[in-house]
Chains A and B, each alone.
Chain A
Amino acid sequence: QKEVEQDPGPLSVPEGAIVSLNCTYSNSAFQYFMWYRQYSRKGPELLMYTYSSGNKEDGRFTAQVDKSSKYISLFIRDSQPSDSATYLCAMKPDTGRRALTFGSGTRLQVQP
């Protein structure tokens, strides 16, 4: 079983829809949770990161962490065709080996 699970998609939505992207994880030591966006043939781009549980909002993006369920989400409001990309979650512990563990990514397609 992978430490971080992410549905590969593709997830296809109409422009303007609210998108929900999710990851589950098994390592209870993870404390930092990141969301990256990766366009085709580009490197990942950090969207936002959160520490421990709770919500964080940045423009049209909202990240949620539920540590009790080992479940994190990224919501995209008013989705645009330019949001079409692969979204990667990543996480790491607060102590010890601090390498990021990535999910395999969810491919999102926003149809105009």
Chain B
Amino acid sequence: EAGVAQSPRYKIIEKRQSVAFWCNPISGHATLYWYQQILGQGPKLLIQFQNNGVVDDSQLPKDRFSAERLKGVDSTLKIQPAKLEDSAVYLCASSRGTSGNEQFFGPGTRLTVL
């Protein structure tokens, strides 16, 4: 079974630029998560989708971050405009059901904002 795929793996941008990340979850997984992991910290949930609907986006900075999961499969996370404090690893995870007890993570996209 193929794991969660993410691209790009690394991205360097200047502040105020925009950036987009892509995630393809494990086939058949209904729930998809985007996390932000700042260096030295644990992942923090940004947004959770169940199929193509948003379940939880309470921690998403909606003035600059947006995400979509069209057709209930792959997803994109966008930041516009980026700030220095957005430098982090952006992790995508998926789970088969809705409980979230067994989440499978992708390798992440490491974003550096200069």
Contacts and interface: CB of A to CB of B under 8 A. Distances in A.
Interface string B100-114: 111111111010000
Contacts of B102: 46, 49
Contacts of A36: 105
Interface residues of B, number: 24
Given A43-B106, A97-B56, A90 B101 contact: no
A44 B105 contact: yes
Contacts, number: 56
A98 interface: yes
A104 B41 contact: yes
Interface string A75-112: 00000000000001010100001111011110000000
B48 interface: yes
Interface string B14-46: 000000000000000000000000001111110
Interface of A: 4, 6, 8, 32, 34, 36, 41-46, 49, 88, 90, 92, 97-100, 102-105
Interface of B: 4, 40-45, 48, 56, 58-59, 91, 93, 99-108, 110
